[in-house]
């Protein structure tokens, strides 16, 4: 005798999972690491933005050199690891839990935005940061010369502003979890609900 599966669709879906679910203790550790890295990324972007604004509005020679050298150091030391760390831990949490990667709109959108921001941070923004730091360092031998990274002053402020806005948006989305399931997630839940529950005694 069979009965329709009207409850606990999540457990039914998990039984058919291709990637094994992450054990709860590991998941808690991974979630802690992910949240810590994500908050740290926001701090890095905010610091870079503050330095960028100081460089844009500043005029002192020594101050400008210090600002853009600091930006270069922050880019190499913190921006790369936190962006990659947030992306990897977020991907593991998505694939290793019932949320999945494409079952819910908020998960998918958050991952896509994080992936785009990570790629741009590593291959575009950080390169410009190192270029700005190299420009002001090259003029250090001339005390009277005013270090000027040129248009990079505006680029870094805009880039860090956009990056900070994206990070705040993705964290807001992760907290409120809007928009519900995707069509794939709805179809997957419906297939699990339509699948009859097998009686453990009769095997039917």
All structural domains of the chain with their residue ranges: 22-184
pLDDT score, position 159: 97
* pLDDT for 5: 41
| pLDDT recorded at residue 51 | 97
What integer pLDDT is reported at residue 152 of this predicted model? 94
- How high does pLDDT run on average in the chain? 86
Domain 22-184 has CATH 1.20.120: yes
Q: What is the mean pLDDT of each run of 10 residues along the chain (204 residues)?
A: 44 53 92 96 97 91 91 95 96 92 95 97 96 84 67 96 97 94 88 63 48
Residue with tokens 């604004």: 53
pLDDT of res. 142: 54
Segment 29-51, tens digit of pLDDT:
999 999 999 999 999 999 999 99
Give the pTM.
0.82
Q: Is the distance from CB of 190 to CB of 12 less than 8 angstroms?
A: no
Enumerate residues 6+ apart whose C-beta is below 8 A from 51.
Answer: 67, 68, 70, 71, 74
Nearest alpha carbon to residue 55 among 157, 134, 195: 157
Q: Which of 5, 161, 9, 140 is nearest to 68 (CA)?
A: 140
Instruction: Please tell me the distance from the alpha carbon of residue 198 to that of residue 111, in angstroms, as a whole number.
Output: 36
| CA 46 distance to own-chain centroid | 15
Per-residue pLDDT at 143:
53
Residue 196 has a pLDDT of 57
**Given this model, what pLDDT does residue 138 score?**
81
pLDDT at 18: 53
pLDDT given for residue 188 in this prediction? 83
Return the pLDDT at 139.
65
């Amino acid at each position: 005798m069979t009965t329709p599966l009207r409850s606990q669709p999540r457990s039914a879906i998990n039984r058919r999972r291709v990637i094994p679910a992450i054990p709860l203790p590991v998941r808690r550790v991974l979630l802690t690491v992910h949240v810590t890295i994500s908050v740290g990324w926001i701090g890095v972007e905010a610091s870079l933005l503050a330095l960028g604004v100081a460089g844009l509005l500043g005029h002192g020679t020594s101050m400008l050199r210090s600002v853009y050298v600091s930006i270069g150091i922050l880019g190499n030391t913190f921006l790369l690891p936190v962006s990659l760390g947030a992306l990897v831990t977020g991907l593991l949490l998505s694939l290793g839990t019932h949320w999945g990667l494409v079952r819910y709109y908020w998960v998918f959108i958050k991952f896509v935005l994080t992936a785009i921001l990570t790629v741009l941070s590593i291959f575009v923004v950080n390169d410009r940061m190192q270029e700005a730091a190299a420009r002001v360092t090259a003029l250090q031998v001339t005390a009277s010369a005013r270090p000027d990274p040129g248009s990079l002053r505006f680029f870094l402020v805009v880039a860090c502003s956009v990056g900070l806005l994206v990070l705040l948006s993705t964290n807001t989305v992760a907290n409120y979890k809007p928009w519900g399931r995707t069509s794939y997630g709805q179809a997957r839940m419906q297939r699990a609900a339509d699948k009859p529950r097998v009686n453990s005694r009769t095997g039917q």
